[in-house]
């Protein structure tokens, strides 16, 4: 889908704003989630100094925003611009350091940085590109503006963590509706991709070495923590302890229309009063089929509450009002948490279970809310799949592990004499075949190079 909203962005070489804890970023993110009025006065400690924030953001009115130090010195304030636009000015040592230009709809249009004389010397502003947005970086020291592009997403968690810790060659950072994203020039993107490849190679070598040198029993290798629902709780749904929701109340809140156009971003500074690209369009949503149980007009057969959230159930119930038979449990956002067979209000039989973002977590056999039998699990950590036998919520025995890119990582086979063979396929076309006894202890190991076969 690409980036739709910029909550804040900054030039990293001169601006050390922490977008993960920035108050302006948090307030704008909250406002754009529902376009409701936000008014507050708070005190926030920043680098050992207590700052007083006094702000109000609402539709069709300029932002009210003042940040003061103890004693009354102004750190941030709003000043009007033309055509309903306004600047949020930020001061350092009583001098204007930067200013953020917003449209009258609170869309962030530009960030400008000042030199010692108070003149604009650098700036960042969004530009529409095919498939999303980029940032246009202007610097008085450069002959031409430079287009900055979002860093490609890295799905593997170990690689992503290493990048966050070690990679610093990027020009700007932005808080968006897609998360906090680095923005890089063409040359930086090339460096970024090379760095990612090096990190991936290092992670793969580390994993290879761990398989060869690790004397851990088989069950510790097969029962990968990646497939532990509790470990991935931030990305998963678990309503095993759900309680009946006795008094459901869904407020009927009208949604205000938001006007939008297909106007290009380059036209915004030409005196236009139209809203730029990142205000959501109010196109009619696709009609939900009448027989779809997630239709908001349909009354759920049961509502349940878990961890403070309300879930709706559509399906069969037994005489005790327990989920029994086939049904679907849906989040308050309309996303399926589980669809399949229930018995006595627990997941039992065949069914599919989903993460919070709507992606599949597991499809297969269940027994009293745990994965038990044969199924396919998908890791929230790295997108890998485990196809095979599951016992008490964990992969065990016969199974195949496939990486997110389709490469087979290992095959586990239970042999007729009670022992188990694990064939681990390494990235250098080598297979490590390890044999384990009934207790999971390693008996023997053999390394085969497929390249030489």
Structural domain of 133: 6-201
Question: Both ends of the chain: CA-CA distance in Å?
Answer: 45
Q: Does residue 51 have a pLDDT over 50? A: yes
b/e string for 172-201 if b means 16 or more Cβ within 10 A?
A: bbbbbeeebbbbbbeebbeebeebbeebbe
CA distance 333 to 27: 22
Same domain, 334 and 443: no
Domain end residue (candidates: 178, 201, 224) = 201
Could you report the per-residue pLDDT of 38-48, keeping only the tens digit for each?
999 988 887 67
Report how far apart, in Å, the C-alpha atoms of 350 and of each of 43, 292, 362, 377, 399 are.
Answer: 53, 20, 11, 13, 18
Three-state DSSP at 70 gives coil
Same domain, 35 and 141: yes
Same domain, 343 and 380: no
Domain presence at residue 185: yes
- Asked if 10 and 172 count as a contact pair (C-beta separation under 8 A), the reply is yes
Same domain, 226 and 180: no
Q: Does residue 203 have a pLDDT over 90? A: no
Could you report the per-residue pLDDT of 381-428, keeping only the tens digit for each?
788 899 999 998 889 889 999 988 888 989 999 998 889 999 988 877
Q: Does residue 2 have a pLDDT over 70? A: no
Average pLDDT, the chain: 81
- Asked if 196 and 154 count as a contact pair (C-beta separation under 8 A), the reply is yes
Res 365: pLDDT = 96
Domain presence at residue 366: no
State the alpha helices, DSSP H only, in 35-176: 157-166
Same domain, 330 and 393: no
* pLDDT confidence bin for 263, thresholds 50/70/90: very low
Q: Does residue 325 have a pLDDT over 90? A: yes
Same domain, 49 and 104: yes
CA distance 98 to 115: 9
Which residue would you say has higher pLDDT here, 193 or 297?
193
Same domain, 32 and 58: yes
**Percent above pLDDT 70 for the chain:** 81
Same domain, 228 and 244: no
Domain presence at residue 388: yes
Res 349: pLDDT = 95
Res 453: pLDDT = 56
Q: Does residue 372 have a pLDDT over 90? A: yes
Domain presence at residue 416: yes
Q: Does residue 264 have a pLDDT over 80? A: no
Res 231: pLDDT = 66
**Exposed (0-12), middle (13-18) or buried (19+): which is 228, by Cβ within 10 Å?**
middle
Residue 204 sits at the vertex; the CA angle it makes with 202 and 207, to the nearest 5 degrees, is 110
Res 281: pLDDT = 36
Domain end residue (candidates: 304, 321, 354) = 354
Domain presence at residue 412: yes
Which residue would you say has higher pLDDT here, 214 or 121?
121
The most confident of the ranges 97-111, 156-170, 212-226, 371-385 is 97-111
CA distance 417 to 32: 62
Domain presence at residue 359: no
Q: Does residue 248 have a pLDDT over 60? A: no
Q: How many domains does the chain have?
A: 3
Res 44: pLDDT = 84
Res 252: pLDDT = 37
CATH of the domain at 389: 2.40.128
Q: Taking the model in full, what pTM does it have? A: 0.51
Res 240: pLDDT = 67
* pLDDT confidence bin for 265, thresholds 50/70/90: very low
Res 284: pLDDT = 38
Res 114: pLDDT = 94
Domain presence at residue 277: no
Same domain, 381 and 338: no
Domain presence at residue 18: yes
Three-state DSSP at 183 gives strand
Same domain, 387 and 244: no
Same domain, 348 and 376: no
107-125: average pLDDT: 94
b/e string for 287-309 if b means 16 or more Cβ within 10 A?
A: eeeeeebbeeeeebbbbbebeeb
* pLDDT confidence bin for 323, thresholds 50/70/90: very high
Res 290: pLDDT = 37
* pLDDT confidence bin for 334, thresholds 50/70/90: confident
Domain end residue (candidates: 201, 222, 256) = 201
206-218: average pLDDT: 67
Backbone angles phi, psi at 395, to 5 degrees: -65, 135
Same domain, 389 and 314: no
């Amino acid at each position: 889908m690409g980036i739709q909203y910029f909550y804040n962005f900054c030039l990293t070489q001169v601006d050390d704003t922490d977008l993960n804890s920035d108050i302006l970023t948090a307030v704008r993110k909250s406002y754009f989630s529902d376009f409701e009025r936000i008014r507050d006065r708070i005190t926030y400690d920043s680098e050992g100094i207590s700052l007083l924030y006094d702000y109000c953001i609402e539709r069709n009115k300029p932002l009210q925003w003042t940040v003061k130090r103890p004693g009354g010195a102004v750190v941030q304030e709003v000043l009007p611009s033309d055509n309903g636009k306004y600047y949020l000015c930020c001061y350092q040592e009583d001098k204007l350091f930067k200013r953020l230009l917003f449209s009258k709809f609170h869309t962030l249009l530009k960030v400008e940085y000042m030199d010692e004389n108070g003149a604009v010397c650098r700036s960042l502003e969004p530009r529409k590109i095919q498939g999303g947005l980029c940032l246009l970086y202007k610097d008085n020291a450069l002959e031409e503006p430079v287009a900055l592009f979002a860093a490609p997403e890295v799905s593997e968690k170990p690689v992503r963590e290493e990048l966050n810790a070690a990679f610093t060659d990027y020009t700007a950072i932005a808080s968006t509706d897609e998360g906090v994203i680095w923005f890089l020039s063409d040359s930086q993107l090339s460096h970024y991709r090379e760095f990612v490849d090096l990190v991936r190679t290092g992670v793969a070598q580390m994993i290879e070495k761990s398989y060869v040198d690790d004397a851990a029993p088989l069950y510790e290798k097969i029962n990968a923590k990646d497939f532990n629902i509790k470990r991935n709780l931030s990305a998963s749904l678990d309503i095993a302890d759900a309680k009946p929701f006795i008094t459901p109340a869904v407020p009927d809140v009208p949604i205000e229309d938001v006007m939008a156009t297909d106007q290009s971003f380059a036209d915004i500074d030409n005196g236009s009063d139209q809203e730029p690209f990142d205000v959501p369009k109010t196109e009619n949503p696709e009609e939900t089929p009448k027989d779809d149980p997630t239709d908001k007009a349909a009354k759920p057969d049961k509502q349940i509450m878990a961890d403070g959230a309300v879930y709706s159930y559509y399906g069969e119930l037994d005489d005790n009002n327990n989920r029994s038979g086939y049904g679907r449990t849906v989040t308050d956002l309309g996303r399926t948490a589980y669809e399949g067979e229930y018995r006595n209000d627990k997941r039992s039989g065949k069914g599919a279970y989903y993460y919070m973002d709507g992606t599949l977590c597991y499809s297969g056999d269940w027994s009293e809310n745990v994965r038990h039998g044969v199924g396919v699990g998908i890791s929230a950590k790295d997108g890998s799949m485990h196809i095979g036998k599951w016992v008490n919520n964990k992969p065990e025995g016969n199974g195949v592990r496939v990486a997110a890119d389709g490469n087979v990582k290992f095959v586990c086979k239970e042999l007729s004499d009670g022992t188990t063979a694990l064939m681990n396929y390494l990235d250098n076309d080598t297979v490590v075949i390890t044999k384990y006894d009934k207790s999971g202890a390693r008996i023997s190991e053999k390394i085969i190079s497929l390249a030489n076969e």
